[in-house]
Structures are given as structure tokens and as C-alpha cells.
């Protein structure tokens, strides 16, 4: 009888167990459509961002500027809407402008990293400060409200079949990223560059183009996250996106994405984001003091990462046994 490999079920098992525990502890408040909708809504911004930033992680890169860039894009759309006196035209122009800012930022990152051989950590750390500074200048370090028009507020608040629009945007971006990585040549090139850039160059793959495209897509999803965040909060300030880079990296790592490149999936990254959302929601439902949230989240994250590491070890042992059996047959 063929042995069933359960390693692929590790992440779903963690989610099911976690949800089961919360359901038992809070049966009347956790497992409801309204609450689960709120969980997905709360993670939608960094869920959108991680589905694009995963391209950067897969090529072995890093982007520390996504939090500040998210804030800058939020400031961009709000400033333009206010300039156009809260008209629908301002919303459309603002969306295009914010997306352009994100794409341009990604392109700049990719070009500097590939052409000038500046480490991704250094350039994105520098642009993180630059983007925050630009946001401070544009807002004069004040909070800018934007409560209208309805076309803008609907992006972050309107519901379709009991679920807010940001959830659908997150799922659309996730499906797009999954399709690119799993079903296209570009996706195979991304994994190849992250696995071994030198070998990929010998195979005729342009790691320069792949790197630039990875950072451009990361910039695009970061800008989209900024637009959604501005609509959800109906305001912006210089520090709007501060801290989101930590949430994105944490979600990716929990989801099994290697920061060294070449390994990880969109579903895994999204799993990490959902687990963070469920954890935050569970702590609130259980009335855990906010001062203890960091401790509890850290412990759960260590458990999740450790469980995922065990799954990878099981896969490696299975591959090693198959390799040994093959060599034994060849020797015989």
C-alpha cells in the first residue's frame, strides 16, 4: 500500500487546530461569518503586500522599504483626492499615481541592486528613510482625512456577500501571484535565480531582468496595499505604513518562505498572514492584556516555524531514502 505523505498538510493542520481551540474557548464569538470576515479584512493589507513581496524573497532579496512605501502611496492618493476636491476623477488619478509611485520605486530598487551591485538590505533601508521623509513633507507631518467620495471609501469598506472588498483584492492578487509562479516561465526563472543565480546565468536566464521585475511587482502590490489602507482608515499620515514590513516578513517566514531565496509558495505566505490575523483576533477575544500580546505571538510563531521545519526535515529524509534506494538498485 502506498504511504501517504502528510508533510503537505502541515500548514492546514496548524490552522485547523488553532481555529478549533479558539472555537472551544469562544464558541459564540469566534466561528461566525462576521468575525472571520473581520480577521481577513484586518490582514488584507499585508496579505496583498506579501503576495508581491514574495517574488523578492524568492530571488534571495529583501525589501525593508515596503512599510514606508505603503505610507507614501497612501499619502499620494489622499493628497490627489483632496486636490481634486473629493471627486471621482481624483480617485482614479490618485490610484494611477499611487500605483506609479510603487512601480517606480520597485524599478529603482531593482536597477540599483543589479547595475550598481548595492546590497538589497542597504538600498531598501535607505529608501525606507527617504519614503518616510517624503511622506512627512507631503503631509507636513499632520493627519490628512479623506471621508469622501464614496468611490474611494468603498475600496476599503464596502461589502460584497458579507465580505469587504479588500478581501477580494487580496485573493485576486494571491491567485495572480500563484499563477505567475506556478504556471509561467517567469515563475520558473524566479525560483531558478533564487536557487542559484550563477547557474541560472549559465542557463541563459537574465537574473538582472528577473530581479528588476521582482522588485517592480513588490512595489506594485505595496502601492495597492497603501491605497486599500488609506481607504480603510479614510485618512493618512507620514507613518501610515510603519511596521508593515515586519508583518510581511513575519508572514512569509511563518509560511515557509526562505529569505535565502529559491523556496516558498504564495499559499504558504498567505497562510502566515492568516495565522497572524487569527492570533491577534484570538488574543482580543480572550481578553489577553495588550502587554502580553508580544510574548504570546512570539511563542506561537516559534511553534509554527518549528513545525514547518520538521516538515522540511521529513521531506529531506524521504528524498534521501529514495536516493539511497535508487543507488542500491543501480549497484545491484
d(CA 81, CA 93): 8
- Name the CA dihedral angle for 265, 106, 84, 75, rounded to a multiple of 10 degrees: 80
What does the DSSP 8-state code read for residue 160? E
- Categorize the per-residue pLDDT at 27 as very low, low, confident or very high, splitting at 50, 70 and 90: confident
Whether 229 is in a domain gets the answer yes
DSSP per-residue codes, 184-201: SHHHHHHHHHHH-HHHHH
- Categorize the per-residue pLDDT at 77 as very low, low, confident or very high, splitting at 50, 70 and 90: very high
What digits encode the pLDDT tens for the residues 119-134? 999 999 999 999 999 9
The count of domains in the chain is 1
What digits encode the pLDDT tens for the residues 197-255? 888 888 899 999 999 999 999 999 999 999 999 999 999 999 999 989 989 998 998 88
Residue 184 belongs to what domain range? 42-243+257-265
d(CA 44, CA 19): 19
Whether 54 is in a domain gets the answer yes
Counting other chains too, the contacts that 182-187 makes at CB distance below 8 Å and 24 or more residues apart are 186/210, 186/213
Pick the more confident residue, 193 or 3: 193
Whether 27 is in a domain gets the answer no
| pLDDT for the residue 31 | 82
Q: Are 200 and 192 in contact (CB under 8 A)?
A: yes
Give the mean pLDDT of the chain: 89
Whether 11 is in a domain gets the answer no
Whether 115 is in a domain gets the answer yes
Whether 330 is in a domain gets the answer no
Contacts of 180 by beta carbon, 8 Å cutoff, 6+ apart? 186, 187
- Sign for the pseudo-dihedral over CA of 47, 266, 306, 125: negative
Whether 102 is in a domain gets the answer yes
Whether 307 is in a domain gets the answer no
pLDDT (average), residues 323-329: 70
Quick one: what percent of the chain has pLDDT higher than 90?
63
Amino acid at each position: 500500500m502506498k504511504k501517504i505523505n502528510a508533510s503537505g498538510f502541515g500548514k492546514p493542520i496548524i490552522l485547523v487546530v488553532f481555529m478549533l481551540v479558539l472555537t472551544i474557548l469562544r464558541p459564540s464569538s469566534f466561528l461566525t461569518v462576521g468575525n472571520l470576515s473581520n480577521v481577513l479584512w484586518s490582514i488584507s493589507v499585508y496579505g496583498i503586500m506579501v503576495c508581491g513581496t514574495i517574488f523578492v524573497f524568492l530571488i534571495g532579496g529583501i525589501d525593508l522599504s515596503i512599510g514606508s512605501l505603503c505610507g507614501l502611496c497612501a499619502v499620494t492618493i489622499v493628497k490627489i483626492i483632496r486636490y481634486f476636491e473629493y471627486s471621482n476623477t481624483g480617485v482614479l488619478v490618485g490610484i494611477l499615481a499611487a500605483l506609479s509611485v510603487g512601480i517606480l520605486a520597485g524599478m529603482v530598487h531593482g536597477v540599483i541592486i543589479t547595475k550598481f551591485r548595492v546590497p538589497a538590505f542597504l538600498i531598501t533601508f535607505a529608501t525606507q528613510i527617504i519614503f518616510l521623509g517624503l511622506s512627512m513633507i507631503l503631509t507636513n507631518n499632520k493627519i490628512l482625512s479623506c471621508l469622501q467620495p464614496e468611490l474611494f471609501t468603498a475600496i476599503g469598506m464596502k461589502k460584497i456577500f458579507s465580505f469587504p472588498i479588500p478581501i477580494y483584492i487580496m485573493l485576486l492578487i494571491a491567485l495572480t501571484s500563484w499563477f505567475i509562479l506556478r504556471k509561467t516561465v517567469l515563475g520558473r526563472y524566479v525560483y531558478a535565480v533564487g536557487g542559484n543565480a550563477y547557474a541560472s546565468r549559465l542557463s541563459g536566464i537574465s537574473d538582472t531582468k528577473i530581479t528588476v521585475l521582482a522588485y517592480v511587482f513588490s512595489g506594485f502590490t505595496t502601492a495597492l496595499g497603501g491605497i486599500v489602507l488609506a481607504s480603510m482608515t479614510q485618512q493618512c499620515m507620514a507613518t501610515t505604513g510603519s511596521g508593515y514590513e515586519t508583518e510581511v516578513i513575519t508572514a512569509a517566514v511563518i509560511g515557509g518562505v526562505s529569505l535565502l531565496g529559491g523556496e516558498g509558495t504564495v499559499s504558504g505566505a498567505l497562510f502566515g498572514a492568516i495565522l497572524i490575523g487569527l492570533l491577534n483576533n484570538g488574543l482580543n477575544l480572550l481578553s489577553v492584556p495588550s502587554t502580553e500580546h508580544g510574548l504570546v505571538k512570539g511563542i506561537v510563531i516559534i511553534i509554527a516555524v518549528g513545525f514547518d521545519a520538521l516538515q522540511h526535515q521529513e521531506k529531506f529524509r524521504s528524498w534521501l531514502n529514495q536516493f539511497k534506494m535508487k543507488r542500491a538498485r543501480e549497484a545491484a
